[in-house]
A and B are shown apart, each in its own frame.
Chain A
Amino acid sequence: MATEERSKEVMAKLKNAVIEYDEDTAKEWAQIALDEGIDANEAIFNGLVSGMQHVGDLFEKQEYFVPELLMCADALYAGLEILKPHVKKMDLGVKGSVVIGTVEGDVHDIGKNIVKMMFDVAGFTVYDLGRDVPLDKFVQEQLKTDSDLVCLSAMMTTTMVGMKKVIDDIKAKNPNVKIMIGGAPVSRDVADKWGADGYAPDATNALKDAINMISSLKKLKEEAEAKKQK
């Protein structure tokens, strides 16, 4: 078992690897974390995710731009892939399975992939349908997997209209499913009008939202731990 000091060092290395978009180092220290018996959840949240939070700040300050952001996300994923098989299921009171995809006619999937990362990190089971997904496929996949959340993405006004049909169809079959929509042409108004439950305007905002959601998840986790200790 690693000492507290060593564990801190590993966290710092993981955090830095994400900030400096250094995939190799992220992988290396994720492996070190496992080898030295550091809890995988800790390494993800206090290492990788904490790095991504800092990246979010840098992006807001315009020190980082889209390419750096994407490379940081890749570094996070590289570390995550090693740590994930060792993660203990977190009990956060959310049942996690989500269907996600970019709607028919649309091939833009950066935003969708970033949002997918958020769910991956949070320990959701993600059914990724990819891009240019036929509208019926969302409905079928939701029914098949009994997912509680469906995320739709569109980057063009022409493809965006497909989302309304999916929302209507899913809600008709299963009114309890939560639906999130996102993409450049989507607005809060559209989301409300079409009856979507959540909304994210674009890839970078989705990432910010993702970071926020992961952060609040982290808070939930800390609170749960604090309760346990009492």
Chain B
Amino acid sequence: MTLSGLRDYIEGEGATVVGFAEVDEALPEEIAHLNRAISIGVERNLNADTLRQLRGLQKKTEKYLRDRGYKFLCIPPDSDRITDTFISKLYKLFSHKVAATCSGLGWIGKNGLLINPKYGPRLSLVTVLTDAPLQPDPPTEQSMCGECSLCVEMCPSGALSGREWSRDDPFPEIIDFSRCASHKGSTKRMSEKPNCGLCINVCPHGRRKPKEEVNAIVVTAEDK
């Protein structure tokens, strides 16, 4: 059985985007033998279904690889909330966004999220690490945000620095996490759920609403 049909298979099962990456560099020792990352993205409709769908895709990928005798490690969505298994200790060793940029699915935007050219920051991601010798996709080299700083201006807590990501400088200080978290904490008091997401809404990449509406939001942000 060959690997050539894997991408079509995952897409056929409902993935919005699929990318393969070679991640030899910077893999911690524990997972050094799993040097390919499969990054799977699903367009987020902001409902509980997205999680279920991602898990489903992951299970199918898992089975595909198992049937062909390859090893794998599935990094589940929301991996920081899973703490009750042995393997969950290793989840934090690999980030979904690293897998996505390395497989060319997009860049890290000024809002700190993966921005896909077509779907913007509106993808939910999962990663499957494997030792299957997949042909890697070309990685994303640099940010395409350019002059756009809508998310930086929009952020109610001033948590975004506006710095740009590139493959050579993969971890600039983009987000002040404590500010972002404290703001989310304050919205929690109103809606009982820590939520904000303005930096996602405002991103022009992959936006469905017409441009005037974006401008309207930006104007209100400036009024404050």
Interface set of A (CB-CB < 8 Å, partner B): 20, 22, 24, 65-68, 70-71, 73-74, 77, 109-110, 113-114
Contacts and interface: CB of A to CB of B under 8 A. Distances in A.
A68 B130 CA distance: 11
Contacts of A65: 30-33
Contact of B34 (A24, A67, A113): A67
B89 A71 contact: no
Contact of A20 (B30, B31, B66, B87): B66
Interface residues of B, number: 14
B90 A70 contact: yes
Contact of B30 (A24, A66, A109, A114): A66
Given A20-B66, A70-B87, A77-B85, 11 more contacts: A65-B31, A66-B90, A67-B30, A67-B31, A67-B73, A68-B71, A70-B89, A70-B90, A71-B73, A74-B86, A113-B86
If over half of A's interface residues share one DSSP class (helix, strand or loop), that class is named, otherwise mixed; here it is helix
B66 A114 contact: no
Give 8 closest A-B pairs by Cβ, nearest first: A70-B86, A70-B87, A66-B30, A74-B85, A67-B73, A73-B86, A71-B87, A110-B89
Most chain B C-beta atoms within 10 Å of own C-beta, residue among A65, A67, A70, A74: A67
A65 B90 CA distance: 12
A148 B94 CA distance: 40
A110 B86 CA distance: 7
11 contacts: A20-B66, A65-B32, A67-B31, A67-B34, A67-B90, A70-B85, A73-B86, A74-B85, A109-B89, A110-B86, A114-B86
Contacts of B33: 65
